[in-house]
Amino acid sequence: MDAAALPPSPRTRVRRVAELANYTPAALHAIIDAAYLCHIAFQDEQGRHCIPTACWRIGGHLYIHGSNGSRMLKQLLRDTDVCVAVTHLDGLVLARSAFNHTMNYRSAMIYGQFEKVSDIGQQHAAMDALMEKLAPGRLAQVRGGSAKEYAATTVLRIALDECAVKQRTGGPLDDAGDMAHVVWTGELPFTHGRGAAIADARNTSALPAYAAAWETESA
């Protein structure tokens, strides 16, 4: 950890392979900013749930949105303590023993409670930030949200105050007693590639720069 690291809480302290932990905001922000989806675990009267949803970050908060009628969003507004997970799988790691096989990954866990973004100006700004994350520059080209659409949408945010990052890179860590075993070892990486933009059959506009660049940008 560096000087900017946040002290871990009892539930964010990484105990299993603790050397892979990172509590710095920079590491946390990088993982969130590279993601389009998060998974939210919560409990209601029907049991425990883990639901995927779109996410984005503004400053020290992670944002989500949905319909006013969303069961999950309604529950999250009832002072529900939640856990939010973001994970990127980067590769499989093949070792000399079955036990030492592992994966390379970047993961973040966020604990706390969501709050509603009630201010209309902040709600609009948050939705604009989501559009800019999806396709920078597109916001200026599309029809903006109507009053009716904004009124039907709930925007929530959770502070990035109680979080932990765990990430692994590199090859296998073989036991000394296994080094004489003859077998291929190494990494099988996942490439997070992007395909070429596909125009809708009813499209009537030229390909914009952000869509043309999609295939060549790193995910």
User: What is the model's pLDDT at position 111?
Assistant: 96
Tokens of 191: 């490439």
At 120-144, the pLDDT tens digits run 999 999 999 999 999 999 999 999 8
User: What is the model's pLDDT at position 218?
Assistant: 63
Q: Using CA atoms, how far apart are residues 89 and 217, in angstroms rounded to an integer?
A: 18
Could you tell me whether strands 47-54 and 37-44 are parallel, antiparallel, or unpaired per DSSP bridges? antiparallel
Three-state secondary-structure class, residue 186: strand
Tokens of 216: 């060549």
**Residue 80 CB: number of other CB atoms within 10 A?**
15
Residue 41 near residue 114, CB atoms below 8 Å? no
pLDDT at residue 3 is higher than 50:
no
User: What is the model's pLDDT at position 29?
Assistant: 96
Q: Which residue has the tokens 């990035």?
A: 160
CA-based nearest residue to 103, from 121, 82, 117, 89? 89
Residue 43 near residue 80, CB atoms below 8 Å? yes
At 159-212, the pLDDT tens digits run 999 999 999 999 999 999 999 999 999 999 988 778 899 999 999 999 999 899
User: What is the model's pLDDT at position 48?
Assistant: 92
Q: Which CATH architecture has domain 18-212?
A: Roll (2.30)
At 72-109, the pLDDT tens digits run 999 999 978 999 999 999 999 999 999 999 999 999 99
Burial classification of residue 149, based on how many CB atoms lie within 10 Å of its CB (0-12 exposed, 13-18 middle, 19 or more buried): exposed
At 17-72, the pLDDT tens digits run 889 888 999 999 999 999 999 999 998 888 999 999 999 999 999 999 999 999 99
pLDDT at residue 1 is higher than 50:
no
Residues 6+ apart with CB under 8 A from 127: 65, 145, 150, 153, 155
Q: What is the pTM of this model?
A: 0.90
User: What is the model's pLDDT at position 113?
Assistant: 96
Tokens of 90: 């980067």
Residue 86 near residue 38, CB atoms below 8 Å? yes
